[in-house]
């Protein structure tokens, strides 16, 4: 797998949360695609030098979110991306996250113009659905 998880050991974010976020981001940016196989819990735990329970927790959260799918006897794979949430639910979740981001931007002293430029530049690095 050319893409690798990079843990920040001194981060306030828990290890399992870093794994979840990085897998989600890799899918959103097109670095991982539907059907790509992920390492087993044990393989990834050995590679990252973390407890296998940490990997299992991350995989469980990713599976619950529909990002990955476990196939008995075959492994864990990136799911096809079909979201079970309604459009209203998806919009509500995203609005909450945007508000969190904008709150941080205000406290960092960034202007609206600067934030919009950063948002546009960052959005350009992601793979968007063709719907």
Cα–Cα distance measured from residue 60 to residue 57, given in angstroms and rounded to the nearest whole number = 5
What residues does each domain of the chain span? Answer: 15-78, 87-123
Please say whether the beta carbons of 77 and 68 come within 8 A.
yes
Per-residue tens of pLDDT for the chain, all 131 residues: 567 999 998 999 999 999 999 999 998 888 999 999 999 999 999 999 999 999 999 999 999 888 999 988 899 999 987 666 677 888 888 999 999 999 999 999 999 999 999 999 999 988 787 76
DSSP letter for each residue of 65-87: TTSEEEETTTEEEE------S-H
Q: Which CATH number is associated with domain 15-78?
A: 1.10.10.10
């Amino acid at each position: 797998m050319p893409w690798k998880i990079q843990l920040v050991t001194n981060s306030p974010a828990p290890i399992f949360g870093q794994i979840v976020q990085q897998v989600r981001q890799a899918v959103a940016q097109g670095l991982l695609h539907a059907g790509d196989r992920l390492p087993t819990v044990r393989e990834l735990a050995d590679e990252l030098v973390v407890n296998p329970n940490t990997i299992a927790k991350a995989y469980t959260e990713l599976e619950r979110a529909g990002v990955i799918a476990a196939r008995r006897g075959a492994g864990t794979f990136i799911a096809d991306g079909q979201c079970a949430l309604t459009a209203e639910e998806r919009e509500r979740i995203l609005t909450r996250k945007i508000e969190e981001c904008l709150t941080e931007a205000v406290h960092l002293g960034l202007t609206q113009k600067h934030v919009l430029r950063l948002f546009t530049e960052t959005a350009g690095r992601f793979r968007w659905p063709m719907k």
